[in-house]
Structure 1
Amino acid sequence: MYTCPLCNESDIQFYWEDKRRQYLQCQCCKLVFVEPSQRLSSEQEKAIYDQHENSPNDEGYRRFLSRIADPLGERIGENKHGLDFGCGPGPALAMMMREQGHLVDLFDLYYYPEIEVLDNRYDFVTATEVIEHLYQPNEVWQQWLKLLKPGAWLGLMTKLVRDVEAFSTWHYKNDQTHVLFFSRATFEYLAERDNLELEFIGNDVILLRKSNHEST
């Protein structure tokens, strides 16, 4: 009946249910996802995003983003060209990476729909608090891999699923724009499948590096 939106496998099992939504889990890549018919419309989704207040000048928000900006900056070297994918209306991470001396392009489906940047190749791509919102994660994942030069870095931030018990009281699932929930096992599956180096930093930062021998 269902196929996994990330790996397209069909071994899907019930995971959890609350008053608003049902959650399923792929037994191949371990992705937990909202039953597709229970997703918001794009209009409903954007209305929630419009309420977010993530200013590039907010020191608290900058501290939050430093958890990815600092380790990524240590790994990519100097004067690199990157893309902040899903940057939102206030692209704070892009500003922070620019302050490190990098050139950073912006893309956001709702706020910076500059599709021409998706034809470029980058030294790094960031997506902070993005991957849990995707309705077509496999398509976007493949797009990210094509955006990366050989040896380039993909930097992600998302909260990780631990187990059903923790999930049942997890605030992160209560945001109706969150429709995908990744675990360490999910990223380990993707890294092995796509020949990526993988590093977890803290509880919600994931760094992946494309092989230097990748020809595409």
Structure 2
Amino acid sequence: MNCTLCHAPATFFCEDKKRPYFRCTECDLVFASPDSYLNDSDEKAIYDFHENDPNDDRYRQFLNQLATPLLGKLSAGMEGLDFGCGPGPVLNLMMEEHGMSMSVYDIYYVPDKNKVARQYDFVTSTEVVEHFYKPSEAWPQLVGLVKRGGWLGIMTSMFTRELPEFFKQWQYKNDPTHVSFYSPKTMHWIAKQFALDIEIVSNRIILLQRR
């Protein structure tokens, strides 16, 4: 088995009741067996249940984990893209409230290819990268959307333990649409691979600046 991100050899990591997982020997990505990936219609059916309300204070607080540190790097009037915005975009509205000019893109809900044919001052991607079936293709696309000197804000839950026993108890991996799991080591590998400066704000928030 080769890693879905860097194509280096991966070894068996653990298995739960639904699927086996592998861990890369190079970039440290943990990924579900590709045999377990859902087809597009089944994947979208799960996303259709997501209800993101811009008036939900708790959801705004959740998104502010990324918005607040990212806004500290930006200036009013900058152009941004919310990549993988889902069926009810909210973060773009929050960024617009702070004077940003926002676009949105999602392969299922806003599949406007014109939005991913240009570059932006910053790109946000909240709870998206763990869904990448082919991270070796998705990450170059994501980074390529950012202008040099611009920022990429990522929200995902990173796995910070070494032992598979902890992974098997980790609730985050139980969502069948979550297939790619990153550690801080993985994020540093991505930063080095794509010439990005990295700031790990928390186990959930990663800011990357394109050089």
Q: Tell me if TM exceeds 0.5.
A: yes
Listed one character per residue, the Cα deviations across residues 129-170 of structure 1 (whole Å, up to 9, x for unaligned) are 000001111211111222111100000000011222321210
Contact 1:79/1:103 (CA < 8 Å) preserved in 2? yes
Distance 1:39 1:117 in 2: 27
Q: Give the distance between the partners of 1:53 and 1:162, measured in 2 at CA.
A: 29
AA in 2 matched with 1:18 = D
Alignment match, 2:123: 125
CA–CA separation in structure 2 for the residues paired with 1:129 and 1:102: 21
Q: Given residue 195 of structure 2, which amino acid in structure 1 is its aligned partner?
A: N
1:202 equivalent in structure 2: 202
Q: Secondary structure at the match of 2:7?
A: coil
2:65 is aligned with 1:67: yes
Give 1:214's aligned residue.
Answer: none
Matched, 1:49 2:63: no
Q: 1:8 — aligned with what? A: 7
C-alpha deviation, 1:102, in angstroms: 0.5
CA distance in 2, matches of 1:21, 1:165: 15
Q: CA RMSD in A?
A: 0.9
Deviations 1:42-67, CA, capped at 9 Å, x for gaps: 11111111111121221110000001
Q: How many Å apart are 1:78 and its aligned residue?
A: 2.0
Instruction: Give the Cα separation in 2 of the matches to 1:202 and 1:28.
Output: 23
C-alpha distance in 1, partners of 2:186/2:126?
Answer: 17
Report 1:65-214 matches (<5 A): 65-163=63-161, 164-211=164-211
Unaligned segments of structure 2, at least 5 residues:
none
Give the drift of 1:8.
Answer: 1.6
Can you list the C-alpha shifts for 1:44-102, whole angstroms capped at 9, x where unaligned? 11111111112122111000000101110110222100100000111110010011100
Q: Is the 8 A contact 1:86 1:130 kept in 2?
A: yes
Opposite residue 185 of structure 1, the aligned amino acid is K
Separation (CA, whole Å) in 1 of partners of 2:12 and 2:206? 26
How many residues in Structure 1 have an aligned counterpart in Structure 2? 209
Contact 1:57-1:92 within 8 A present in 2 as well: no
* Identity across matched positions, percent: 46
Runs of 4+ off more than 4 Å = none
Cα distance in structure 1, aligned partners of 2:57 and 2:193: 38
SS across alignment from 1:90: coil
TM-score of the pair, normalised by structure 2: 0.96
